[in-house]
Amino acid sequence: MTTSALQPNLDPQALATALGARHVIDGVLTPSRGGQGLPVFNPATLALIANAAAGGAADVDAAVGAAKRAAKGWASVKARDRGKAVSACGALLAQHSEELALLTALETGKAIRTESRVEAGVLADVFVYFGGLASELTGETIPFAPDVLTFTLREPVGVVGAIIPWNAPLLLMALKVAPALVAGNTIVVKASEEAPFGVLRVAQLMQQLLPAGVFNLIVGDGPGCGAALSAHPDIAKLTFTGSVGAGRSVYLAAAEKLVPVTLELGGKSPMIVMADADLAKAAAGAVGGMRFTRQGQSCTAASRMFVHRSIHDAFVEAVCAAVDAMVMGDPMDEATDIGTIISQRQFDRVQSYIALGQGLCAENPGAKAHACSALPTDPAFAKGLFVRPVIFTGLGNDTRLAKEEIFGPVTMVIPFDTYEEALAMANDSEYGLGATIWTRDLGVAMDAVHRLEAGFVQVNQNTVVQPMLSYGGVKTSGLGKEASLASMLAHYTHKKTVLINMAR
Ligand code: NAD
């Protein structure tokens, strides 16, 4: 690897071309054994960016082999030195944050100012945060018997297999790699075939600061590459972020091998707005919570909004006006608020839900599809995967629109008359990832905090996942948590109990 290849490169197209159809295995950029078959398109223009690796079983085997060879050495590095290396990775990635932001905007279509630059900043922060937690990998002493010294040790699990999606690839990878490495594990990450280059660049850069084989990254599709990683006999722990269907496959593979698994899956997150809420703040929270800037492609998107009937119309008007004022266009343009959908497949899926909703509106008098913002007019983006955000009103919580995860810029506003009615609708979902309630009544807020069936509950705000806050879902939204010290200890270490009989 030449030194110049490791300098910040603000030409994302050149960077993607240079990375090409390769993996990072055993410390080096490695051509794919599985071939070069996965074209990655710029979703704003549908122009080919570059072909990515189509990793298969041979690539997985090479990466897991490298991680296995590196495991013993990395586990024996002093915990604080591992932490320093991971923190240094954060500092290095911060130096490269603009190039990573540009690369992310190019391959995902997420707007540079509102999304991609923010994600690149959080990426670095996650490494710095976890690096500082190395000294917390402590055990405890247990008063078992006076003459038996009894204590626990935190030990690494071994080689971790991590599978990530495309919607926030830098962040979601960091939430797995940083704690796994600090805890003394080595790791093989399988990147999404739809957004491989940003994370490939991160892996390439981090090799400067880590021993070879500690962090490997392969690119490939789910059924071929992801399934091979899940099934690999030398993987001691699986961690997956993505859809419920693929998560089930990973869980089955983990069950077959009897290895622990963390699953961060989908959501259909409710937002309850009580009559006494600050309407302006709640409307702004709805826009942020629904992640319109990311075309709604967020697992915690507030895709079901339950609003007290007395303020329903004013709320809808305020949210529509705010989204109307947002600029949709070139993800690379600083003036853009909303970029594109990631892929043609996802675009078609979102459009099918919008068509479904429009059909329901035609059948239900009073129901309406409020399409907001405006498609870009620049002919350069005529083929781009832009979708006007749609806010449906007048449709029930029993429709497919309310039950299924759309993962696009589509939300519903549903009126309620009583708090109990709102709570019942909020909990009437197979998912349980995020939930918010907006009210000035502390008693109502605390009641909702206890009764909302979700892993991440907020009152009077709709913020995103943050380092130090345990994050994860209940019900079909997943198993286990990420992003905190507690999650690092629970998911990337095992506790060994030791008894030393000191009787003389
Ligand atoms: P996806 O399930 O299609 O793909 C996710 C990853 O799994 C990709 O790398 C894919 O190649 C791989 N994969 C697919 N099938 C596989 C299989 N059989 N075995 C192993 N790996 C397989 O999901 P997506 O479309 O990339 O992402 C969107 C989904 O991710 C949404 O459901 C969203 O809610 C969820 N998500 C959840 C969180 C969270 O923290 N809970 C965060 C982001 C996204």
pLDDT tens for 64-77 read 999 999 999 999 99
| Whether the Cβ atoms of residue 308 and residue 459 lie closer than 8 Å to each other | no
pLDDT at position 1 over 90: no
Q: What does the mean pLDDT of the chain come to?
A: 97
Using the atom order of ligand 1, give the atom closest to the CA of residue 267.
34
Spans of all domains in the chain: 50-265+477-497, 270-466
| Whether the Cβ atoms of residue 203 and residue 227 lie closer than 8 Å to each other | no
What superfamily in CATH does domain 50-265+477-497 come from? Aldehyde Dehydrogenase; Chain A, domain 1 (3.40.605.10)
pLDDT at position 384 over 70: yes
Q: Quickly count: other Cβ atoms within 10 Å of residue 280's Cβ.
A: 12
Question: Which mutation among 119, 167, 235, 430 tests ligand 1's pocket best, with the greatest number of atoms within 8 A of CB?
Answer: 167
Distance CA 489, CA 137 (A): 7
Provide the total of helices (H) and of strands (E) in the chain, helices listed first: 16, 21
Comparing CA positions, the residue from 127, 180, 189 lying closest to residue 158 is 180
Distance CA 386, CA 388 (A): 7
pLDDT recorded at residue 319: 98
Residues 192-207 have a mean pLDDT of 98
pLDDT recorded at residue 37: 80
Residues in the chain: 504
Q: Is 192 in the pocket of ligand 1 (CB under 6 A)?
A: yes
Q: Residue 284: pLDDT band by 50, 70, 90 thresholds? A: very high
Helices (H), 215-370: 227-231, 244-257, 279-289, 312-324, 344-363
Extract the tokens encoding 421.
Answer: 């009615």
pLDDT recorded at residue 36: 66
Q: Does residue 453 sit in helix, strand or coil?
A: coil
Distance CA 283, CA 314 (A): 9
- Whether residue 264 lies in the annotated active site: yes
What superfamily in CATH does domain 270-466 come from? Aldehyde Dehydrogenase; Chain A, domain 2 (3.40.309.10)
pLDDT recorded at residue 205: 98
Going by alpha carbons, the residue nearest to atom 9 of ligand 1 is 192
Extract the tokens encoding 464.
Answer: 């995103």
Using the atom order of ligand 1, give the atom closest to the CA of residue 165.
26
Distance CA 250, CA 229 (A): 9
| Whether the Cβ atoms of residue 159 and residue 71 lie closer than 8 Å to each other | yes
Distance CA 94, CA 91 (A): 5
Residue 22: partners with Cβ closer than 8 Å, 6 or more residues away: 29, 30, 31, 32, 53, 200, 219
Extract the tokens encoding 213.
Answer: 């084989």
pLDDT recorded at residue 273: 98
Q: Residue 2: pLDDT band by 50, 70, 90 thresholds? A: low
pLDDT at position 53 over 70: yes
